[in-house]
Structure 1
Amino acid sequence: MSWFGKKKEATPTTADAIQKLQDTEMMLQKKSDFLEAKITQEMKTAKTAGMKNKRVALNALKRKKRYEEQLNKIDGTLCTIEFQREALENANTNTEVLKNMGFAAKALEGAHKQIGDIDKVHDLMDDIAEQQELANEISSAISSPMGFGMEMDEDELMAELEGMEQEDMDRQLLDIPDSAVPDLPSVPNAVPTSAAQEEEDEDMAALAAWAT
Protein backbone atom coordinates (compact mmCIF):
# COMPACT_ATOMS: atom_id res chain seq x y z
CA MET A 1 0.00 0.00 0.00
CA SER A 2 1.21 3.51 -0.84
CA TRP A 3 0.21 6.86 0.65
CA PHE A 4 -2.34 7.52 -2.09
CA GLY A 5 -3.93 4.13 -2.49
CA LYS A 6 -3.16 0.67 -3.78
CA LYS A 7 0.29 0.14 -5.26
CA LYS A 8 0.26 -0.32 -9.00
CA GLU A 9 1.35 -3.78 -10.04
CA ALA A 10 4.20 -4.10 -12.54
CA THR A 11 3.25 -5.33 -15.98
CA PRO A 12 4.47 -8.90 -16.42
CA THR A 13 6.84 -9.64 -19.26
CA THR A 14 5.97 -12.05 -22.03
CA ALA A 15 8.74 -14.40 -20.90
CA ASP A 16 7.28 -14.55 -17.39
CA ALA A 17 3.79 -15.14 -18.72
CA ILE A 18 4.98 -17.92 -21.02
CA GLN A 19 6.74 -19.61 -18.12
CA LYS A 20 3.58 -19.42 -15.98
CA LEU A 21 1.50 -20.97 -18.73
CA GLN A 22 4.01 -23.76 -19.23
CA ASP A 23 3.89 -24.54 -15.53
CA THR A 24 0.09 -24.64 -15.68
CA GLU A 25 0.20 -26.96 -18.68
CA MET A 26 2.47 -29.36 -16.85
CA MET A 27 0.14 -29.40 -13.81
CA LEU A 28 -2.96 -30.00 -15.94
CA GLN A 29 -1.18 -32.71 -17.93
CA LYS A 30 -0.34 -34.56 -14.73
CA LYS A 31 -3.98 -34.34 -13.61
CA SER A 32 -5.08 -35.58 -17.03
CA ASP A 33 -2.80 -38.60 -16.76
CA PHE A 34 -4.22 -39.30 -13.27
CA LEU A 35 -7.81 -39.17 -14.52
CA GLU A 36 -7.04 -41.47 -17.43
CA ALA A 37 -5.59 -43.99 -15.01
CA LYS A 38 -8.69 -43.71 -12.79
CA ILE A 39 -10.98 -44.22 -15.80
CA THR A 40 -9.07 -47.37 -16.76
CA GLN A 41 -9.32 -48.67 -13.19
CA GLU A 42 -13.10 -48.05 -12.93
CA MET A 43 -13.65 -49.83 -16.24
CA LYS A 44 -11.83 -52.87 -14.93
CA THR A 45 -13.91 -52.77 -11.72
CA ALA A 46 -17.17 -52.60 -13.68
CA LYS A 47 -16.15 -55.50 -15.90
CA THR A 48 -15.07 -57.59 -12.94
CA ALA A 49 -18.32 -56.99 -11.00
CA GLY A 50 -20.55 -57.33 -14.01
CA MET A 51 -24.03 -58.67 -13.57
CA LYS A 52 -22.95 -60.56 -10.43
CA ASN A 53 -22.64 -57.34 -8.43
CA LYS A 54 -24.64 -54.71 -10.22
CA ARG A 55 -24.32 -52.07 -7.51
CA VAL A 56 -20.52 -52.16 -7.58
CA ALA A 57 -20.47 -52.14 -11.38
CA LEU A 58 -22.92 -49.22 -11.63
CA ASN A 59 -21.00 -47.14 -9.07
CA ALA A 60 -17.76 -47.79 -10.96
CA LEU A 61 -19.37 -46.63 -14.21
CA LYS A 62 -20.73 -43.50 -12.49
CA ARG A 63 -17.24 -42.60 -11.21
CA LYS A 64 -15.80 -43.31 -14.67
CA LYS A 65 -18.37 -40.91 -16.16
CA ARG A 66 -17.38 -38.10 -13.75
CA TYR A 67 -13.69 -38.65 -14.46
CA GLU A 68 -14.36 -38.45 -18.19
CA GLU A 69 -16.21 -35.13 -17.76
CA GLN A 70 -13.29 -33.72 -15.76
CA LEU A 71 -10.86 -35.00 -18.38
CA ASN A 72 -12.81 -33.26 -21.16
CA LYS A 73 -12.71 -29.99 -19.24
CA ILE A 74 -8.96 -30.31 -18.71
CA ASP A 75 -8.44 -31.02 -22.42
CA GLY A 76 -10.37 -27.85 -23.29
CA THR A 77 -8.36 -25.82 -20.78
CA LEU A 78 -5.10 -27.18 -22.19
CA CYS A 79 -6.14 -26.13 -25.70
CA THR A 80 -6.94 -22.60 -24.48
CA ILE A 81 -3.65 -22.32 -22.63
CA GLU A 82 -1.75 -23.60 -25.68
CA PHE A 83 -3.32 -20.94 -27.90
CA GLN A 84 -2.54 -18.24 -25.36
CA ARG A 85 1.06 -19.43 -24.99
CA GLU A 86 1.57 -19.44 -28.76
CA ALA A 87 0.17 -15.89 -28.95
CA LEU A 88 2.59 -14.76 -26.23
CA GLU A 89 5.52 -16.46 -27.99
CA ASN A 90 4.61 -14.67 -31.23
CA ALA A 91 4.30 -11.37 -29.38
CA ASN A 92 7.66 -11.97 -27.74
CA THR A 93 9.21 -12.68 -31.13
CA ASN A 94 7.65 -9.55 -32.64
CA THR A 95 8.93 -7.50 -29.71
CA GLU A 96 12.47 -8.73 -30.21
CA VAL A 97 12.25 -8.14 -33.97
CA LEU A 98 10.99 -4.59 -33.50
CA LYS A 99 13.65 -3.92 -30.88
CA ASN A 100 16.41 -5.09 -33.22
CA MET A 101 14.94 -3.13 -36.12
CA GLY A 102 14.89 0.00 -33.97
CA PHE A 103 18.51 -0.60 -33.00
CA ALA A 104 19.46 -1.00 -36.66
CA ALA A 105 17.55 2.17 -37.58
CA LYS A 106 19.50 4.17 -35.00
CA ALA A 107 22.77 2.74 -36.28
CA LEU A 108 21.80 3.67 -39.84
CA GLU A 109 20.88 7.18 -38.74
CA GLY A 110 24.27 7.56 -37.04
CA ALA A 111 26.05 6.37 -40.17
CA HIS A 112 24.18 8.91 -42.28
CA LYS A 113 25.12 11.68 -39.85
CA GLN A 114 28.77 10.76 -40.26
CA ILE A 115 28.45 10.97 -44.02
CA GLY A 116 27.05 14.48 -43.77
CA ASP A 117 25.68 16.55 -46.64
CA ILE A 118 24.45 14.60 -49.67
CA ASP A 119 26.05 17.19 -51.98
CA LYS A 120 29.44 16.20 -50.61
CA VAL A 121 28.68 12.61 -51.52
CA HIS A 122 27.88 13.63 -55.11
CA ASP A 123 31.09 15.67 -55.28
CA LEU A 124 33.08 12.72 -54.00
CA MET A 125 31.52 10.39 -56.56
CA ASP A 126 32.34 12.88 -59.33
CA ASP A 127 35.95 13.00 -58.17
CA ILE A 128 36.11 9.21 -58.12
CA ALA A 129 34.68 9.03 -61.66
CA GLU A 130 37.18 11.63 -62.89
CA GLN A 131 40.13 9.80 -61.36
CA GLN A 132 38.87 6.51 -62.78
CA GLU A 133 38.67 8.03 -66.24
CA LEU A 134 42.21 9.40 -65.88
CA ALA A 135 43.44 5.99 -64.75
CA ASN A 136 41.84 4.37 -67.81
CA GLU A 137 43.53 6.87 -70.13
CA ILE A 138 46.91 6.25 -68.49
CA SER A 139 46.44 2.49 -68.73
CA SER A 140 45.45 2.77 -72.39
CA ALA A 141 48.47 4.95 -73.18
CA ILE A 142 50.85 2.57 -71.44
CA SER A 143 49.45 -0.51 -73.15
CA SER A 144 49.50 0.99 -76.69
CA PRO A 145 52.38 -0.32 -78.87
CA MET A 146 55.07 2.23 -79.80
CA GLY A 147 57.41 2.23 -82.80
CA PHE A 148 59.92 4.60 -81.19
CA GLY A 149 59.96 6.87 -84.28
CA MET A 150 59.99 4.05 -86.88
CA GLU A 151 56.97 3.71 -89.12
CA MET A 152 56.70 0.31 -90.73
CA ASP A 153 54.76 -0.42 -93.91
CA GLU A 154 52.83 -3.54 -93.02
CA ASP A 155 52.01 -4.27 -96.68
CA GLU A 156 55.70 -4.28 -97.54
CA LEU A 157 56.50 -6.56 -94.63
CA MET A 158 53.71 -8.93 -95.63
CA ALA A 159 55.03 -9.06 -99.19
CA GLU A 160 58.50 -9.91 -97.89
CA LEU A 161 57.09 -12.62 -95.67
CA GLU A 162 55.09 -14.13 -98.55
CA GLY A 163 58.22 -14.12 -100.73
CA MET A 164 60.17 -15.99 -98.03
CA GLU A 165 57.44 -18.56 -97.71
CA GLN A 166 57.27 -18.99 -101.48
CA GLU A 167 61.03 -19.65 -101.62
CA ASP A 168 60.69 -22.30 -98.96
CA MET A 169 57.85 -23.94 -100.87
CA ASP A 170 59.88 -23.91 -104.12
CA ARG A 171 62.84 -25.57 -102.40
CA GLN A 172 60.57 -28.22 -100.93
CA LEU A 173 59.00 -28.94 -104.33
CA LEU A 174 62.39 -29.21 -106.06
CA ASP A 175 63.89 -31.02 -103.05
CA ILE A 176 67.06 -28.88 -103.42
CA PRO A 177 68.91 -28.11 -100.20
CA ASP A 178 70.18 -24.61 -99.57
CA SER A 179 73.81 -25.76 -99.90
CA ALA A 180 73.15 -27.18 -103.41
CA VAL A 181 72.11 -23.86 -104.93
CA PRO A 182 75.14 -22.60 -106.99
CA ASP A 183 76.44 -19.08 -106.66
CA LEU A 184 75.82 -17.29 -109.96
CA PRO A 185 78.51 -14.93 -111.27
CA SER A 186 77.79 -11.29 -111.04
CA VAL A 187 76.80 -9.52 -114.25
CA PRO A 188 79.18 -6.67 -115.21
CA ASN A 189 77.76 -3.22 -115.49
CA ALA A 190 79.13 -2.63 -119.05
CA VAL A 191 79.47 -5.16 -121.90
CA PRO A 192 83.02 -5.00 -123.46
CA THR A 193 83.24 -4.05 -127.17
CA SER A 194 84.80 -6.62 -129.50
CA ALA A 195 87.76 -5.82 -131.89
CA ALA A 196 85.57 -6.24 -134.98
CA GLN A 197 83.15 -3.70 -133.69
CA GLU A 198 85.97 -1.19 -133.10
CA GLU A 199 87.30 -1.73 -136.61
CA GLU A 200 83.86 -1.17 -138.16
CA ASP A 201 83.50 2.05 -136.26
CA GLU A 202 86.84 3.33 -137.63
CA ASP A 203 85.77 2.57 -141.23
CA MET A 204 82.51 4.44 -140.74
CA ALA A 205 84.43 7.42 -139.41
CA ALA A 206 86.81 7.44 -142.47
CA LEU A 207 83.88 7.24 -144.90
CA ALA A 208 82.18 10.11 -143.22
CA ALA A 209 85.34 12.21 -143.46
CA TRP A 210 85.78 11.47 -147.21
CA ALA A 211 82.15 12.38 -147.90
CA THR A 212 82.62 15.78 -146.41
Structure 2
Amino acid sequence: MASGGWGWGSLFGGASAAKSKDSAKNAILGLRGTLDMLTKREKHLQNQMDEQDAIARKNVNTNKAVAKAALRRKKNYEHQLEQTSAQMLTVEREISSIETANINKETLDSMKAAQKAMKDIHGNLTIETVDQTMEDLREQHAIGDEIAEALTQGNLGQAVDEDELDEELAELQQEELDNKMLKTGTVPVSDQIHSLPNAAAGELRGNKHTVEEDDEEEELRKLQAEMAM
Protein backbone atom coordinates (compact mmCIF):
# COMPACT_ATOMS: atom_id res chain seq x y z
CA MET A 1 0.00 0.00 0.00
CA ALA A 2 2.80 2.44 0.93
CA SER A 3 4.77 2.02 -2.27
CA GLY A 4 1.83 2.51 -4.68
CA GLY A 5 1.94 6.33 -4.80
CA TRP A 6 5.67 6.98 -4.89
CA GLY A 7 6.04 6.83 -8.65
CA TRP A 8 4.62 10.33 -9.23
CA GLY A 9 6.89 12.45 -7.07
CA SER A 10 9.97 12.14 -9.26
CA LEU A 11 7.95 13.24 -12.30
CA PHE A 12 6.90 16.60 -10.92
CA GLY A 13 9.18 17.67 -8.10
CA GLY A 14 12.69 16.86 -9.27
CA ALA A 15 15.36 16.28 -6.59
CA SER A 16 13.20 17.68 -3.81
CA ALA A 17 10.34 15.32 -4.60
CA ALA A 18 12.71 12.36 -4.84
CA LYS A 19 14.19 13.22 -1.45
CA SER A 20 10.73 13.51 0.08
CA LYS A 21 9.75 10.21 -1.49
CA ASP A 22 12.82 8.46 -0.09
CA SER A 23 12.21 9.98 3.33
CA ALA A 24 8.64 8.72 3.46
CA LYS A 25 9.69 5.34 2.14
CA ASN A 26 12.46 4.91 4.67
CA ALA A 27 10.22 5.98 7.54
CA ILE A 28 7.56 3.47 6.54
CA LEU A 29 10.11 0.70 6.08
CA GLY A 30 11.48 1.39 9.56
CA LEU A 31 8.03 1.40 11.11
CA ARG A 32 7.10 -1.84 9.36
CA GLY A 33 10.27 -3.45 10.69
CA THR A 34 9.28 -2.36 14.20
CA LEU A 35 5.78 -3.69 13.65
CA ASP A 36 7.13 -7.09 12.59
CA MET A 37 9.26 -7.23 15.73
CA LEU A 38 6.31 -6.30 17.93
CA THR A 39 4.14 -8.92 16.21
CA LYS A 40 6.71 -11.62 17.00
CA ARG A 41 6.94 -10.37 20.59
CA GLU A 42 3.16 -10.46 20.90
CA LYS A 43 3.08 -14.08 19.77
CA HIS A 44 5.93 -15.01 22.16
CA LEU A 45 4.21 -13.37 25.17
CA GLN A 46 0.94 -15.13 24.34
CA ASN A 47 2.75 -18.47 24.29
CA GLN A 48 4.37 -17.67 27.67
CA MET A 49 0.99 -16.81 29.14
CA ASP A 50 -0.51 -20.07 27.87
CA GLU A 51 2.40 -22.02 29.32
CA GLN A 52 2.10 -20.41 32.79
CA ASP A 53 -1.66 -20.90 32.73
CA ALA A 54 -1.13 -24.62 32.06
CA ILE A 55 1.37 -24.87 34.98
CA ALA A 56 -1.04 -23.15 37.36
CA ARG A 57 -3.88 -25.47 36.37
CA LYS A 58 -1.66 -28.51 36.78
CA ASN A 59 -0.58 -27.58 40.33
CA VAL A 60 -3.67 -25.80 41.58
CA ASN A 61 -4.59 -28.71 43.88
CA THR A 62 -1.23 -30.38 44.50
CA ASN A 63 1.24 -27.50 44.86
CA LYS A 64 -0.38 -24.14 45.44
CA ALA A 65 2.97 -22.31 45.70
CA VAL A 66 3.96 -23.41 42.22
CA ALA A 67 0.53 -22.59 40.89
CA LYS A 68 0.62 -19.15 42.47
CA ALA A 69 4.10 -18.40 41.07
CA ALA A 70 2.87 -19.46 37.60
CA LEU A 71 -0.09 -17.12 37.88
CA ARG A 72 2.26 -14.28 38.94
CA ARG A 73 4.44 -14.84 35.86
CA LYS A 74 1.32 -15.04 33.70
CA LYS A 75 0.17 -11.64 35.00
CA ASN A 76 3.59 -10.17 34.18
CA TYR A 77 3.47 -11.54 30.66
CA GLU A 78 -0.10 -10.25 30.28
CA HIS A 79 1.03 -6.75 31.24
CA GLN A 80 3.86 -6.89 28.72
CA LEU A 81 1.41 -8.13 26.09
CA GLU A 82 -0.89 -5.17 26.71
CA GLN A 83 2.05 -2.78 26.29
CA THR A 84 3.11 -4.54 23.12
CA SER A 85 -0.42 -4.34 21.66
CA ALA A 86 -0.55 -0.62 22.44
CA GLN A 87 2.83 -0.10 20.76
CA MET A 88 1.64 -1.98 17.69
CA LEU A 89 -1.41 0.26 17.42
CA THR A 90 0.83 3.33 17.66
CA VAL A 91 3.16 2.06 14.93
CA GLU A 92 0.26 1.13 12.65
CA ARG A 93 -1.26 4.58 13.15
CA GLU A 94 2.04 6.26 12.25
CA ILE A 95 2.39 4.12 9.13
CA SER A 96 -1.13 5.10 8.05
CA SER A 97 -0.44 8.79 8.75
CA ILE A 98 2.75 8.80 6.68
CA GLU A 99 1.05 6.96 3.81
CA THR A 100 -1.85 9.44 3.87
CA ALA A 101 0.51 12.41 3.97
CA ASN A 102 2.50 10.97 1.08
CA ILE A 103 -0.64 10.38 -0.99
CA ASN A 104 -1.80 13.94 -0.25
CA LYS A 105 1.52 15.33 -1.41
CA GLU A 106 1.54 13.24 -4.56
CA THR A 107 -2.03 14.34 -5.32
CA LEU A 108 -1.15 17.99 -4.82
CA ASP A 109 1.93 17.65 -7.03
CA SER A 110 -0.19 16.05 -9.74
CA MET A 111 -2.75 18.85 -9.54
CA LYS A 112 0.01 21.47 -9.76
CA ALA A 113 1.42 19.74 -12.84
CA ALA A 114 -2.06 19.61 -14.40
CA GLN A 115 -2.56 23.31 -13.70
CA LYS A 116 0.75 24.15 -15.33
CA ALA A 117 -0.10 22.01 -18.37
CA MET A 118 -3.47 23.76 -18.76
CA LYS A 119 -1.78 27.14 -18.48
CA ASP A 120 0.77 26.20 -21.15
CA ILE A 121 -1.99 24.95 -23.45
CA HIS A 122 -4.11 28.06 -23.10
CA GLY A 123 -1.14 30.39 -23.42
CA ASN A 124 -2.45 33.83 -24.41
CA LEU A 125 -5.92 32.51 -25.13
CA THR A 126 -8.61 34.65 -23.51
CA ILE A 127 -12.38 35.00 -23.66
CA GLU A 128 -11.93 38.16 -25.75
CA THR A 129 -9.79 36.24 -28.23
CA VAL A 130 -12.39 33.49 -28.52
CA ASP A 131 -15.22 35.99 -29.00
CA GLN A 132 -13.27 37.84 -31.70
CA THR A 133 -12.48 34.57 -33.49
CA MET A 134 -16.15 33.54 -33.48
CA GLU A 135 -17.18 36.99 -34.75
CA ASP A 136 -14.64 36.75 -37.57
CA LEU A 137 -16.00 33.32 -38.50
CA ARG A 138 -19.56 34.64 -38.63
CA GLU A 139 -18.45 37.50 -40.89
CA GLN A 140 -16.67 35.11 -43.23
CA HIS A 141 -19.77 32.88 -43.41
CA ALA A 142 -21.88 35.93 -44.26
CA ILE A 143 -19.42 36.98 -46.98
CA GLY A 144 -19.48 33.45 -48.39
CA ASP A 145 -23.29 33.50 -48.55
CA GLU A 146 -23.24 36.87 -50.36
CA ILE A 147 -20.67 35.60 -52.86
CA ALA A 148 -22.71 32.48 -53.58
CA GLU A 149 -25.85 34.56 -54.09
CA ALA A 150 -24.01 36.92 -56.44
CA LEU A 151 -22.63 34.05 -58.50
CA THR A 152 -26.05 32.43 -58.95
CA GLN A 153 -28.06 35.63 -59.46
CA GLY A 154 -29.93 35.59 -62.77
CA ASN A 155 -29.31 31.88 -63.32
CA LEU A 156 -32.23 30.64 -61.27
CA GLY A 157 -35.72 30.43 -62.78
CA GLN A 158 -38.40 32.86 -61.70
CA ALA A 159 -41.34 31.75 -59.58
CA VAL A 160 -44.00 29.81 -61.51
CA ASP A 161 -47.09 31.84 -62.47
CA GLU A 162 -50.21 29.78 -61.71
CA ASP A 163 -52.35 31.77 -64.17
CA GLU A 164 -49.95 30.98 -66.99
CA LEU A 165 -50.13 27.29 -66.07
CA ASP A 166 -53.96 27.38 -66.19
CA GLU A 167 -53.91 29.02 -69.60
CA GLU A 168 -51.42 26.51 -70.94
CA LEU A 169 -53.53 23.64 -69.56
CA ALA A 170 -56.67 25.04 -71.24
CA GLU A 171 -54.83 25.24 -74.56
CA LEU A 172 -53.77 21.62 -74.29
CA GLN A 173 -57.34 20.55 -73.51
CA GLN A 174 -58.64 22.46 -76.53
CA GLU A 175 -56.03 20.86 -78.79
CA GLU A 176 -57.02 17.43 -77.53
CA LEU A 177 -60.74 18.21 -78.15
CA ASP A 178 -60.00 19.44 -81.68
CA ASN A 179 -58.09 16.25 -82.46
CA LYS A 180 -61.04 14.09 -81.31
CA MET A 181 -63.52 16.11 -83.41
CA LEU A 182 -61.36 15.64 -86.51
CA LYS A 183 -61.22 11.89 -85.94
CA THR A 184 -64.84 11.14 -84.94
CA GLY A 185 -66.87 14.16 -86.00
CA THR A 186 -68.47 14.30 -82.52
CA VAL A 187 -67.37 15.47 -79.12
CA PRO A 188 -67.89 13.18 -76.11
CA VAL A 189 -70.03 14.72 -73.42
CA SER A 190 -67.27 14.25 -70.83
CA ASP A 191 -64.83 16.14 -73.08
CA GLN A 192 -67.41 18.90 -73.59
CA ILE A 193 -67.82 19.22 -69.86
CA HIS A 194 -64.07 19.34 -69.21
CA SER A 195 -63.49 21.86 -71.98
CA LEU A 196 -66.28 24.25 -70.92
CA PRO A 197 -65.95 26.88 -68.23
CA ASN A 198 -67.07 25.81 -64.77
CA ALA A 199 -70.56 27.35 -64.94
CA ALA A 200 -71.33 25.94 -68.40
CA ALA A 201 -69.98 22.55 -67.46
CA GLY A 202 -72.26 22.48 -64.45
CA GLU A 203 -75.30 23.34 -66.58
CA LEU A 204 -74.46 20.59 -69.06
CA ARG A 205 -74.17 18.06 -66.26
CA GLY A 206 -77.60 19.19 -65.02
CA ASN A 207 -79.21 18.68 -68.46
CA LYS A 208 -77.71 15.22 -68.72
CA HIS A 209 -79.14 14.35 -65.31
CA THR A 210 -82.65 15.57 -66.47
CA VAL A 211 -82.54 13.37 -69.57
CA GLU A 212 -81.62 10.38 -67.43
CA GLU A 213 -84.59 11.05 -65.11
CA ASP A 214 -87.03 11.28 -68.12
CA ASP A 215 -85.83 7.92 -69.41
CA GLU A 216 -86.45 6.41 -66.00
CA GLU A 217 -90.01 7.81 -65.92
CA GLU A 218 -90.70 6.33 -69.37
CA GLU A 219 -89.47 2.91 -68.27
CA LEU A 220 -91.66 3.11 -65.16
CA ARG A 221 -94.79 3.90 -67.21
CA LYS A 222 -94.11 0.98 -69.53
CA LEU A 223 -93.77 -1.35 -66.56
CA GLN A 224 -97.07 -0.09 -65.05
CA ALA A 225 -98.89 -0.66 -68.39
CA GLU A 226 -97.63 -4.21 -68.56
CA MET A 227 -98.76 -4.90 -65.01
CA ALA A 228 -102.26 -3.58 -65.82
CA MET A 229 -102.61 -6.06 -68.65
TM norm structure 2: 0.54
8 A contact 1:35–1:67 mirrored in 2: yes
Answer yes or no: is the 8 Å Cα contact 1:25–1:78 preserved in 2.
Answer: yes
Structure 1 distance, partners of 2:138, 2:111, is: 34
Is the CA contact (8 Å cut-off) linking 1:42 and 1:60 kept in structure 2? Answer: yes
**CA distance, structure 2, for counterparts of residue 184 and residue 41 of structure 1:** 139
Give the one of 77, 89, 102 matched to 1:67. Answer: 77
Aligned to 2:94: 84
Q: Which runs of 5+ in 2 are unaligned?
A: 1-18, 149-155, 170-183, 189-229
Asked if 2 retains the 8 angstrom alpha-carbon contact of 1:15 and 1:92, the reply is: no
CA distance in 1, matches of 2:110, 2:186: 100
Higher helix proportion (structure 1 or 2): 2
Find out whether 1:98 has 2:99 as its counterpart.
no
Distance 1:133 1:17, change over 3 A: farther
The superposition leaves residues 156-207 of structure 1 with CA deviations (integer Å, 9 ceiling, x where unpaired) of 99xx9xxxxxxxxxxxxxxxxxxxxxx88239xxxxxxxxxxxxxxxxxxxx
Give the alignment of 1:125-140 within 5 angstroms: 125-131=134-140
Q: Which residue of 1 aligns with 2:181?
A: none
The amino acid across from 1:185 in the alignment is T
Map 1:108-147 to 2 at 5 A: 108-113=118-123, 115-116=124-125, 119-131=128-140
Q: Across the two proteins, how many residue pairs are aligned to each other?
A: 149
1:149 is matched with: 158
Give the CA deviation at 1:134.
Answer: 6.6
Pairwise CA distance, 1:84? 1.4
SS for the counterpart of 1:185 is coil
Q: Percent identical across equivalent pairs? A: 30
2:158 match: secondary structure: coil
Matched with 1:186 is 187
Question: What is the DSSP-based 3-state SS (H/G/I as helix, E as strand, rest coil) of the residue aligned with 1:149?
Answer: coil
Shift of 1:105: 1.5
For the pair shown, which has the larger CA radius of gyration, 1 or 2? 1
Q: Displacement, 1:66?
A: 0.5
